[in-house]
Amino acid sequence: MQELPEVTDPRIIDGKKIAQGIEADVKRGVEEFISEHGIRPALATILVGEHPPSKLYVKLKHWACKRVGIISEDHKLPQETTQEEIIGLIATMNKRPEIHGILVQLPLPGHIDEREVMMQISPKKDVDGFNPLNMGKMLIGREGFVPCTPKGIIRALEESKIDPHGMEVVVVGHSNVVGKPAAIMLLNRNATVKVCHVYTKDLKSHTVEADILIVATGVRGLIKADMVKEGAIVFDVGITWQDNKVYGDVDFDDVLPRVGLISPVPGGVGPMTIAILMEHTLMAARMQR
């Protein structure tokens, strides 16, 4: 994992610093929760297979649990695990009262139907916000457990005192885990929102219109300076792993001179998503008392 350089440029969102602030709040909340209820919040993670980035992400989540005082339980299953076995394990976790949050690390192996698996996690323990009931509540404006990456974007805007109300937002990528929920959460805040994706014609003609540009495609360096409006706020939340390093969807060095504010890869919203997962686990523990 790359070391994150210290952020001194005011145009660059320092996700690590925001994450530390969130974790400090969660840590205090965990202590309060323990003194009130005599038990400690707990997160169970489920990792299937040997996908190296997934293994790293799960490890980072366990480290974060340790920092904020949340118990973490680590379930590692082999690549060839069947869908029924994963669903069975989730059912067990749903039933155990001392487990408050369940996280299934995505992506799952190709023979597994991810959406089917996500539907099995009890909505109360769905700290990643992927259960359709929580997705649907978000869609109608009742945000509870929502996906952590788009929530990180909202949080970063709040920290930067930017209200998206009436602003033009362009989201590139229409995945269930980032693009669609990001669009919905910005719509809930009364931004004008456009969603583009791989089938969009003349992408640049759309991205240049954005006051806030959110990119989540997994195509390294897709966004160049000429695709960005002068002074725009750019959230790069795409991830490509190459030679044990992560790269974003935005050509950072090219784009930086044009932006008003940018969330880079690595170091932007990324570190925040794990802090938000901690927040959700505490929220889940509180809901289950």
Q: What is the C-alpha separation between 175 and 55, in angstroms, rounded?
A: 22
Interstrand relation of 233-236 and 71-77 (parallel, antiparallel or unpaired): unpaired
173 among annotated binding-site residues: yes
Q: What b/e readout covers 224-252, taking b as 16+ CB neighbours within 10 angstroms?
A: eeebbbeebbbbbbbbbeeeeebbbbbbb
* Calpha distance 30→136 (Å, rounded): 28
CB of 210 to a second copy, least distance (A): 11
Residue 226: active-site member: no
Q: Is 128 known to be catalytic?
A: yes
Active site residue 229: no
Residue numbers of the site for a second copy (CB under 8 A)? 115, 118, 131-142, 165-166, 168, 174, 176, 180-181, 183-184, 187, 190, 192-197, 199-201, 206
DSSP state letters, 185-242: HHHHTT-EEEEE-TT-SSHHHHHTT-SEEEE-S--TT-B-GGGS-TT-EEEE---EEE
Q: Which residue lies nearer to a second copy by CB, 20 or 175?
A: 175
In the set 14, 126, 128, 211, the catalytic residue is 128
From the CB of 211, what's the least distance to a second copy, in Å? Answer: 10
Identity of the residue, 167 or 259, whose beta carbon is nearer to a second copy in the bound complex? 167
Does 175 count as an annotated binding residue?
yes
CA distance 202 to 149: 26
CB closer to a second copy, 79 vs 190: 190
Structure tokens at 124: 């109360």
Please give the Cα distance from 25 to 124 (Å, whole number). Answer: 21
Q: Which is nearer to a second copy, 13 or 172 (CB)?
A: 172
| 140 is annotated as contributing to ligand binding | no
Binding residues: 173-175, 239
Catalytic residues: 61, 105, 128
Binding residues for NADP(+): 173-175, 239
